Amino acid sequence: MSEAETIELVALLGDNAVSNFAVYISITFAYLTVAYFVGAALSSFQMKAVSGLYLASSGICAISSVATVQAWVLIVSVEPTVLNTLPLYTAGIWHIYMAVLLTAGMVVSLYFMYDIRRRGNEKSDKTPS
């Protein structure tokens, strides 16, 4: 593979990783919005269904993004290009960083739903009947 082809492939993989990350952020924002506005009013089944759908869809985006970044790191490490002179491209930590960041985002989002539901139940327990 020529240097130009390698650089183009790395750029395409970077674009794919960013696209997957953008979809992940959109899904996460939608889940957090649902949790904030109607989380306390959801039944247990509805909450589990929404959370399961969130985990499945955000998980697919996260795995795809991490795999794309892994491919990018591998190509940069194997093919000699001008990119090999840039420390940010050769650090080899991006897939680990992405995996930790996206997993933490999912865990925090699920906790947010739990916290909203817990606070909603506390308020409903305090209201006079």
Dig out the tokens for 101 from the structure: 């960041």
Token couple for 64: 């795809």
Residue 125 has pLDDT above 80, yes or no: no
Tell me the pTM.
Answer: 0.86
Pair of tokens at residue 41: 């009013």
Q: Where are the domains of the chain?
A: 3-118
pLDDT given at position 83: 84
- pLDDT confidence of residue 126: 62
Q: How confident is the model at residue 101 (pLDDT cuts 50, 70, 90)?
A: very high
pLDDT in tens, 23-57: 999 999 999 999 999 999 999 999 999 999 999 99
C-alpha distances out from residue 87 to 32, 79, 110, Å: 36, 15, 35
pLDDT over 70 for what percent of the chain? 95
Of 111, 96, 102, residue with least CA distance to 20: 102
Contact status, residue 28 vs residue 105, Cβ threshold 8 Å:
yes
Mean pLDDT of the residues in the chain: 90
